[in-house]
Amino acid sequence: MDFQKQSQTDESLQALSEIAQVINTIQEIDPLLEKVLEIAMETLAAERGFVLLKSAKASLGFEVKSSRNFSDNQLGDLTRISTSVVHEVLANGEPLLLFEAQKDPKYREQESIVLQKIQSIACVPLRIKHRQIGVIYLDSLTKRSLFTRENMPFLTTFANLAAIAIENAQFYQRLRDENRRLRTEVQRIHGFDEIIGQSPKMRQVFDTMSRVLDSDASVLIEGESGTGKELVARAIHFNGYRKDKPFMAFFCGSLPESLLESELFGHKKGAFTGAVTDKRGLFEAADDGTFFLDEIGDLSPQIQTKLLRVLQGGEVKRVGENQIRKVDVRIISATNKVLLELVKQGSFREDLYYRLNTINIQLPSLRERQSDIHILAHHFLDKFTAQKNQHIRGFDKRAIECLKRYAWPGNVRELENTVERAVVMTKGEWITPEDLQLPQDSTELVQTGLTLEEFEKRLVQKTLEENTGNISETARGLGVSRRWLHYKIKEWQLPTK
């Protein structure tokens, strides 16, 4: 091998190793194409060049993605060259080498004028298996035989490597776009920033909420005290199409019955002692908006009947009046009792129950979504340290354990209060179990009068419940092996997922 050939081979290998590195490092399509072009042009000492990719959207069926040393007014030429030379390469999948191209009878007159200025052209397909995804085009305006047949094996191999890299980058780009789309979708689905929770049960809640935002369907929110019922009701209103209209929150247990009726439905002057003027009720005031009836289970039968009329036909009747007025309100109600139980006991109208319960949202207690305790605690910690301008780094390990172990009868509200108190009480940078001041017997489990086995069974059962039947999580929480847990579950016939 003579010296010149050897040095050419070295250069070729150098370029091939460079493209291999490009494959591993550049994931973005545009910089990748630029790099591919740069390597190709430098290695073959080309004066101009472009990379073009097939595109179903482009009118010619391909699109120049990256080009070098073409001035703006040459871009027209570039497309014209593309139509002839490029089409040929794309169609045949074979590299093309042209010298004195203008004399080639294959090219039409107009093309020849363009080609006249070009002394030599090398054009190779970017190929994945037998599919052409584009081409690399190089040319020279000054040198007649800049590209030689010896260049072609290198250029072809190089183009094959580049093609894989390009396809990977396109794939990566599609994934990223998809990811971004899904992320905005999730945000849209639950743009409920103030409601914290990632547990499966809360995801279910967000999912239901997002489905009912733009509808008028009545929503009944059930959940223990402090689980966020009002928060959810507000979020539904303020993310829905009625958001610019009134949101009226009304606590049904707050007033004696007679006053309650007039408050909700209004009254006519003289309807009762003290009714000195006509007064419109809250339902009328909430027209076009959302009415949130909190503690709905406390309503008297008489008010229940009147409420049913609002739900059935949007009709309200002021106390002491016969005239029917129309209102358009969306009803969201909440209760920490099990409303269906009240129906069974006969203290709540069944027809009203079904009207209120078109959409049902069950808010899980904090015990049912243990995995959220951690993030909720940090959320409140951030909130109160910012509010009180205090520097606290976090909860120490034991404090986290305490938070997780505690039964939280008051749910999120209790957790919120606990964290606020701890922020006030703590003297250090880390919140300790002592700062939390949680009741010691909080696990509810330690009680005398049980056999050890019975105690063991209850503990396993409760931990299983907390982990929604997940064996691995339960075993980890209890510090036992999965095998032991399986064995006990079978022995005691405990329900799992």
Ligand X SMILES: Nc1ncnc2c1ncn2[C@@H]1O[C@H](COP(=O)(O)OP(=O)(O)OP(=O)(O)O)[C@@H](O)[C@H]1O
Interface residue list for ligand X (CB under 6 A): 195-197, 223, 225-231, 336, 412-413, 416
CB of 356 to ligand X, least distance (A): 16
CB of 229 to ligand X, least distance (A): 3
CA-to-CA distance for 35 and 176, rounded, in angstroms?
A: 21
Residue whose CB is less far from ligand X, 87 or 378? 378
* 416 contact, one of ligand X, Mg ion, none, CB 5-8 Å limit per kind: ligand X
User: Would you mind telling me the total number of residues written for the chain in this entry?
Assistant: 497
Q: For residue 408, give the 3-state DSSP assignment.
A: coil
CB of 409 to ligand X, least distance (A): 11
Cα-flanking dihedrals φ and ψ of residue 229, to 5°?
-60, -45
Residue whose CB is less far from Mg ion, 16 or 359? 359
* 261 contact, one of ligand X, Mg ion, none, CB 5-8 Å limit per kind: none
DSSP string over 235-254? HHHHHSTTTTS-EEEEEGGG
Residue whose CB is less far from ligand X, 266 or 297? 297
CB of 221 to Mg ion, least distance (A): 9
For the record, the structure tokens of 70 come out as: 């073409």
Residue whose CB is less far from ligand X, 378 or 405? 378
| Alpha helices (H) in 122-228, listed in sequence order | 151-189, 200-212
Helix (H) or strand (E) holding 331: strand 330-335
CA 138 to chain centre: 45
What is the torsion angle, in degrees rounded to the nearest 10, for the CA atoms of residue 91, residue 97, residue 100 and residue 104? -30
CB of 429 to ligand X, least distance (A): 24
Query: 98 near 120, Cβ under 8 Å?
Result: yes
Query: 380 near 337, Cβ under 8 Å?
Result: no
CB of 360 to ligand X, least distance (A): 15
Residue whose CB is less far from Mg ion, 125 or 226? 226
Residue whose CB is less far from ligand X, 231 or 494? 231
* 49 contact, one of Mg ion, ligand X, none, CB 5-8 Å limit per kind: none
Place of tokens 């072609």: 152
* 364 contact, one of Mg ion, ligand X, none, CB 5-8 Å limit per kind: none
Q: Among all residues, whose Cβ is closest to Mg ion?
A: 230
Residue whose CB is less far from Mg ion, 161 or 293? 293
* 189 contact, one of Mg ion, ligand X, none, CB 5-8 Å limit per kind: none
Give the interface segment with Mg ion, choosing from 224-232, 238-246, 258-266, 267-275 (CB under 5 A): 224-232
Total binding residues for Mg ion by CB under 5 A?
Answer: 2
CA-to-CA distance for 23 and 224, rounded, in angstroms?
A: 56
CB of 336 to ligand X, least distance (A): 4
Q: For residue 473, give the 3-state DSSP assignment.
A: helix
* 359 contact, one of Mg ion, ligand X, none, CB 5-8 Å limit per kind: none
Q: How far apart are the first and last CA of the chain?
A: 72
Residue whose CB is less far from Mg ion, 230 or 473? 230
* 228 contact, one of Mg ion, ligand X, none, CB 5-8 Å limit per kind: ligand X
Residue whose CB is less far from ligand X, 137 or 384? 384
Q: What is the largest CA-CA distance in the chain?
A: 118
Cα-flanking dihedrals φ and ψ of residue 131, to 5°?
-110, 130
The residue type at 202 = M
**C-alpha separations of 220 from 70, 116, 305, 427 in Å:** 67, 79, 17, 43
One character per residue 26-65, x = contact with Mg ion (rule: CB under 5 A): ----------------------------------------
Select the residue interacting with Mg ion from 34, 230, 278, 315 (CB under 5 A): 230
DSSP-derived pairing of the beta strands 325-326 and 315-316: antiparallel
Q: Which residues bind Mg ion (CB under 5 A)?
A: 229-230
